[in-house]
Amino acid sequence: MEIQKTALYEYHKNLGAKFVPFAGYQMPVQYTAGIIEEHKLTRSKAGLFDVSHMGQLFAEGGSELSIELEKIIPIDLKKINLNQSKYSFLINDTGGIYDDLIVTKVKKGFSIILNAARKENDYKIIKKALGDKFKLKLYKELSLIALQGPKAEEILENLIKGVSLLKFMNGNSFSYNGNEIYITRSGYTGEDGFEISLSNKIVESFAKILLSKGAQPIGLGARDTLRLEAGLCLYGHDINETTTPIEANLKWAISKRRREEGGFLGYKIIKSNINGHLSRLRVGIKPSGKIIAREGTKIFSLDENVIGLITSGTFGPSVNGSIAMGYVKYDFAKPGTNILLEVRGKKYQASVIKLPFYKKKYVR
């Protein structure tokens, strides 16, 4: 299958981007500043990310649509306010996660942001669940960019009046040079920021203006270090079809009513997890010293029995040290538990810690 390019491909090239194939797309992993510098620029100023490889799905319908979607997405769609966004999952019949996603209630239905590698499959699953009763569209003519960091509000408000009034996980339609764009106050970095959905035709000129106002281009490399510091999951690594939201320590993302009433795929297993029948849990892990425990690193108890596996690991520039996440047997999941990590055949000390590694700065 031919590798795809986003509408900003030439723009990235002109900025000196180094590309990698990711989820079927040619994506910028870093620019000339490098991953660590890009990470720090996002934390201190504002970073601009191209996330147009993500899927933008629109489902049209009223209360009946909510009822049908609630069978596969375990949030309370009836209670969600207009323009409010919720983090959730597409669940399978064993309680595993087909994908994690962001659902936003818009005027005629729901907008759903899907992971790039999963979007075609997600579309089929949602289409099958909804049948032909509702209009469903996966947009190819829209781009998605994310402006993240403490200066994001100031930069975007300068360009589009009223975005500063948005609260975290809320959005709205705005007009820009006669074009309708949709902006949500959300992101994947642990910083305040915005995700902007806009036409492929205007995305490059819009991105250039944001850079002229002080934003810096940021690649996938820093996006990964930022999200890991914030304790956020990466689909296909920290969560997948074999992990339940409860094992993934994401119980909070299932609405209270849905946890109690169920009515969605895999509920029996998820309810059993909630009631304490849990064999493993996703935790934060702090290796001692400078070793980096990458994905696939085995986790041992102090008496050297295998108790789990690292799913994400890197150097965290904001915390100036090695950080990781992984799954451990439930008895070892308490923060403060000492463990061992096997890196290149040697075992090193580490400890389980409470997530996130870096305190989030959202505008509530």
**Predicted confidence (pLDDT) per residue in 198-250, tens digit:** 999 999 999 999 999 999 999 999 999 999 999 999 999 999 999 999 999 99
Provide the pLDDT for residue 104.
Answer: 98
Provide the pLDDT for residue 221.
Answer: 98
Q: Is the pLDDT of residue 338 over 90?
A: yes
Per-residue pLDDT band at 360 (split at 50, 70, 90): confident
State the CB neighbour count (10 A cutoff) for residue 278: 15
Provide the pLDDT for residue 173.
Answer: 98
Domain boundaries of the chain, sorted by first residue: 1-230, 251-353
Per-residue pLDDT band at 364 (split at 50, 70, 90): low
Q: d(Cα 182, Cα 173) in Å, to the nearest integer? A: 4
Q: Is residue 164 helix, strand or coil?
A: helix
User: Mean pLDDT, the chain, as a whole number?
Assistant: 97
- Predicted TM-score (pTM) of the model is 0.96
Identify whether the C-beta of residue 130 lies closer than 8 Å to the C-beta of residue 136: yes
Provide the pLDDT for residue 260.
Answer: 96
22-75 confidence digits (pLDDT tens): 999 999 999 999 999 999 999 999 999 999 999 999 999 988 999 999 999 999
Please report the sign of the dihedral spanned by the C-alpha atoms of residue 198, residue 221, residue 34, residue 289: positive
Task: Name which of 56, 28, 103 is nearest 200 in CA terms.
Answer: 56
Give the residue-averaged pLDDT of 3-24: 97
Two structure tokens written together for 179: 């074009």
Scan for tokens 């509702």, then name that residue: 134
Please report the sign of the dihedral spanned by the C-alpha atoms of residue 241, residue 244, residue 248, residue 252: positive
The CATH fold of domain 1-230: Gyrase A; domain 2 (3.30.1360)
Q: d(Cα 280, Cα 326) in Å, to the nearest integer? A: 10
Query: Backbone phi, then psi, for 203, in 5-degree steps?
Result: -65, -40
Same fold, 1-230 and 251-353: no
Q: Is the pLDDT of residue 183 over 80?
A: yes
Cα distances from 115 to residues 23, 112, 146, 294, in angstroms, run 9, 10, 15, 22
**Class of residue 5 by CB neighbours under 10 A (exposed 0-12, middle 13-18, buried 19+):** middle
| Residue 352 φ/ψ region, left for φ over 0, alpha for ψ in the -120 to 50 degree band, beta for the rest | beta
Provide the pLDDT for residue 106.
Answer: 97
Q: d(Cα 23, Cα 55) in Å, to the nearest integer? A: 11
User: For domain 251-353, which CATH number applies: 2.40.30.110, 3.40.50.720, 3.40.50.620, 3.40.630.30?
Assistant: 2.40.30.110
What is the torsion angle, in degrees rounded to the nearest 10, for the CA atoms of residue 179, residue 183, residue 187 and residue 193? 100
Per-residue pLDDT band at 144 (split at 50, 70, 90): very high
**Length of the chain measured in residues:** 364
Give the residue-averaged pLDDT of 179-192: 97
Per-residue pLDDT band at 8 (split at 50, 70, 90): very high
